[in-house]
Amino acid sequence: MVAIPGGTFTMGSPESEKNSYDYERPQHNVTLQAFFMGKYPVTQAQWNAIALMTDLKVERDLDPDPSSFKGDNRPVETVNWYEAVEFCDRLSQLTGREYRLPSEAEWEYACRGVREPLKLDTGKSYPPFYFGETITGKLANYDVSRPYRDEPPGERSKGTTPVGEFPPNPFGLYDMHGNVWEWCLDDWHHNYEGAPTDGSAWIDDNEPENVKTENQSYSAKNEYKSPYSRLRGGSWIDYPDYCRSAIRGNNFRREDRNDVVGFRIVCVSGRTG
């Protein structure tokens, strides 16, 4: 886990960002408290260890080996949102700490690795990727057959790569661009009108009674009205447009599994006992 310092940043993309989308706007400032985030996406070895701890089961069984691209140090994939939440709940029981999926705001803040907001009336913007204005096959695992700017095209990726093979961002996080899409807590919204500004997950009038709103611990037992949750970061099969810091994926329902989708975890509190 990596300590992510608290701070304020500007969430979303400007209209001037190449191949950006209206659902990434309006840009807005978000202030977050400090939290911890997984240095890498959850690996297959980590998933297997928790999946086999059936005595910790909260709501559902977990397939110990669901991934299409095998390897202990590759990211786990082909797990749905509910299974990712079950993993977090089991880990919380095991450790006495509160683990969960990140909110969209936490994910984007951590991805960008910035702590200063933009002055929105100046026309300034963050770069599309944490390493700068463009992306190459030496920086992330994605479909390099279509360039983002002027870089030469390469061969299309054939699957996930082991975590940590590409450079980290300023906070020390790896694989935030490409490799696997990462589940977030939030419901899908068509734009940022009315979005929270405190870093919390955006759930529409459907917070179940067992949601601990103070520390945002979400149980796998929860039923959500929206069938779609947020995905962030892009994957090994995606063009660079879909691997930008601001991209918001909505291709999968919470119950869907796919070999382009994994997750990483956050921890926001100390031991509970």
Distance (Å, rounded) from C-alpha 196 to C-alpha 27? 12
Query: In angstroms, what CA-CA distances link 43 with 143, 168, 239?
Result: 21, 17, 23
pLDDT digits 0-9 by tens, 31-67: 999 999 999 999 999 999 999 999 999 999 999 999 9
Residue 28 CA to residue 35 CA, distance in Å, equals 21
Q: Using an 8 Å Cβ cutoff, are 186 and 230 in contact? A: yes
Cβ-contact 210, 222 below 8 angstroms: yes
Gap between the Cα atoms of 115 and 5, Å rounded: 8
For 128-151, write each residue's pLDDT tens digit.
999 999 999 999 999 999 989 988
Over range 64-84, report the average pLDDT: 98
CB neighbour class for 116 (10 Å; exposed up to 12, middle 13-18, buried from 19): exposed
User: What are the structural domains, with CATH classification, of the chain?
Assistant: 1-273 (3.90.1580.10)
pLDDT at 210 exceeding the cut of 50: no
Average the pLDDT over 95-120 and give the result. 94
Q: What is the pTM of this model?
A: 0.90
